[in-house]
Amino acid sequence: MMQAMGAPFFSVIVPTYNRLYELQNCLQTVFLQTEHDFEILVIDDHSTDNTLEWLKTINDSRLKILSNTNTKGGCGARNTGIEAAKGEWIAFLDSDDWWHIEKLSVVKAAIEQEQDYHVFYSSCFYVDAAGYENPMPTRGLSGNILQQLGRMNPVRGFSSLVVKKQALLTAGKFDEQLPARQDIDLYFRLAQNEHFFYIDRRLAFISFFSTNKISFNSKNRFQGWMKVYKKYKHLMSYSDRWYQQKRIAFFAYKAGAYYSFFRYLPGALVSIVVSRGVPVQE
Q: Which residue has the higher pLDDT, 77 or 128?
A: 77
Scored b (16 or more CB within 10 A) or e, 160-193 reads: bbbbbbebbeebebbbeebbbbbbbbbbbbbbee
Q: Which residue has the higher pLDDT, 129 or 239?
A: 239
For 40, 89, 278, the CA distances from 173, given in Å and listed in that order, are 19, 14, 40
Name the least confident of 119-123, 164-168, 214-218.
214-218
Q: In the structure, how many helices (H) and strands (E) does the chain have?
A: 9, 9
What span, in angstroms and rounded, lies between the C-alpha atoms of 69 and 44?
A: 9
* Mean pLDDT of the region 201-212: 81
The whole-model pTM stands at 0.91
What span, in angstroms and rounded, lies between the C-alpha atoms of 219 and 225?
A: 10
Q: Which residues are registered as beta bridge partners of 64?
A: 41
The residue type of 91 is A
The residue type of 42 is V
What span, in angstroms and rounded, lies between the C-alpha atoms of 116 and 104?
A: 19
At residue 214, the pLDDT reads 47
At residue 208, the pLDDT reads 79
* Mean pLDDT of the region 131-136: 73
At residue 3, the pLDDT reads 62
At residue 140, the pLDDT reads 82
User: What does pLDDT average to over the chain?
Assistant: 91
Contact, 201 vs 123, CB < 8 A?
A: yes
The percentage of residues in the chain with a pLDDT greater than 90, rounded to a whole number, is 81
What span, in angstroms and rounded, lies between the C-alpha atoms of 36 and 29?
A: 12
At residue 278, the pLDDT reads 47
* Mean pLDDT of the region 97-103: 98
Highest mean pLDDT pick, 64-68, 88-92, 204-208:
88-92
Q: Is the pLDDT of residue 215 over 90?
A: no
- pLDDT per position as a tens digit, 246-276: 999 999 999 999 999 999 999 999 999 887 7
Confidence of residue 138 (pLDDT cuts 50, 70, 90): low
At residue 281, the pLDDT reads 45
The residue ranges of every structural domain in the chain are 10-215, 218-275
Length of the chain: 282
What span, in angstroms and rounded, lies between the C-alpha atoms of 171 and 100?
A: 28
Query: Taking the mean position of all CA atoms in its chain, how far away is CA 1?
Result: 24
At residue 280, the pLDDT reads 46
* Mean pLDDT of the region 9-28: 96
Residue 197: what are its φ and ψ, rounded to 5°? Answer: -115, 125
Confidence of residue 4 (pLDDT cuts 50, 70, 90): low
Q: Is the pLDDT of residue 279 over 70?
A: no
CATH class name, domain 10-215: alpha beta
Highest mean pLDDT pick, 114-123, 129-138, 148-157:
114-123
What span, in angstroms and rounded, lies between the C-alpha atoms of 6 and 8?
A: 7
- pLDDT per position as a tens digit, 154-171: 998 899 999 999 999 999
Query: Taking the mean position of all CA atoms in its chain, how far away is CA 141?
Result: 16
